Structure 1
Amino acid sequence: MGNRALTLAALALAVAALSAVVVSGALVADAATATDFSQKNLAPSWAHPFGTDWMGRDMLLRTLAGLSTSVLVGLLAAGVSAAIALVLGAAAALGGRRVDAAVTWLIDLVMGVPHIVLLILVSFALGKGALGVTVGVAVTHWPSLARVVRAEILQCRQSAFVATARKLGQGPVRIATRHMLPYVLPQFIVGLILLFPHAILHEAAITFLGFGLPPEQPAIGVILSESMGYLSAGMWWLAVFPGLALIACVLLFDGAGSSLRKLVDPHSAQE
């Protein structure tokens, strides 16, 4: 019980911290773009903990606003990707051999292409920006979760309680909603949460390379990309603090997913 309580507390703490980042970033969005050329290129201090950039913008506010943007884009992309994984995984498990073969071939095809290459191609084809990066992340991150959903549904189909339900005359729709959905849902939710850090990192990566969010929109990838031209001048804080904040945000998502997995996975429930 003690370990379970600690795991639940860790999950709640991670969710609260991520919520605080998103809310605070939205609240300081306007202040993050305010320029003050009398305060430009200042090193970290009590007045500006993350320093200021070449336009006098406070880097702490920019980092919060950038994290909020990146997290929201990552959440939307991961949610769409998880929905694709659920539909295709269920279709593969329930649609017969031909559908299963087609979905398996599609999974292997998408997983055979490096994520970053496919992301850049999709984002560039859609004109980059928020739409391009969201669609790019969504259509490239579903294969692993689709495999998990397919395997869980196939295992559920072969279980004794589903066979008993069929003998009792329950139809496919009732079996799917009353038995298969509750069986698959915990693993699906864990997989959905674990998609978030991948989505956020890949969004930041392609934005950093210039194929993602536009420069005028505060995002961690934009901040890191712009900071590269000033590192040689000794302005290390422009990249170090936003980079560390991105890593911390990703670790929070990973910690939330790992904690949730411990709570819902019967194999780790006794740990």
Structure 2
Amino acid sequence: MAADCWLAYRLAPAWTVYSPAAATWGMIELVHLPMEAEGNQSMSDLLALYRIQELELDIIARTERIKSINVEMAGDAALVEARASFETAQATHQDAVKRATEHEHEIRAVVEKRANSEATLYGGAVTNPKELQDLQMEFEALSRRKLTLDDEMLHLILERDDLGEKLAEIQAGLDEMTAAREEANIDLQEEKDELTAAVNELLAERKSQVTEVSPDLFQAYIRMRKPKANRPLAALQDKACTSCGIEQNVVVINAINRGDGIVHCQNCGRILLRL
């Protein structure tokens, strides 16, 4: 046996390694798949499993984008704020219009009442001095009230018109934002449709790829998927695991080169394969 040859014997939960050159035994702790998934898995199985992982990662990414599109289409924060501002301005303007209208009705009532007082005062039907004096006082009071109401009405009209102009500006901005959102939603819907079609194609390919993998190996992959953040497999590149970046020892590298089946990264425990 060559001096640089390594012999490895399975002693769960570790591998006992003997180096003839160093004449020593060492223990290498490895993370293993369940026993039923161990064994001489073919390279085609691992490649098919790696393709499944790629498909699933692509599906996850596209699905997350679809979710974000749904959120974006459902509610634009700026548009929601603009609508709230418009509703507030609209309510304020409507209140000003209502107060101006009520004030106008009050002025008409005062004018009508003053006209009646004036007609009675100067109509000649009333001759009693006390009654005439009361009518005169009422007429003067209504005249003063009319002046006060006219002054208040002027302020109400100015306020109403000013609020109306502001409301028109806010509505114009809201209409512009709404049109922009509707146009953007068209693009988002097109993107969503493309993503949905792509996801369906990826799911179909994944279903086909699953049939290329042994059931035991696939179930082991499923169990590793969550703890390995959807990446149970990693490629070996330049003697290092592409997932954690740790360079592998000669035992792991030789096992992969020989195609010994399932070989794990000595650091992160992912299944390693050479692409």
TM-score, normalised to structure 1, is 0.23
Q: TM-score, normalised by structure 2?
A: 0.23
Bigger Rg, which one: 2
Task: Name the structure where strand makes up a greater proportion of residues.
Answer: 2
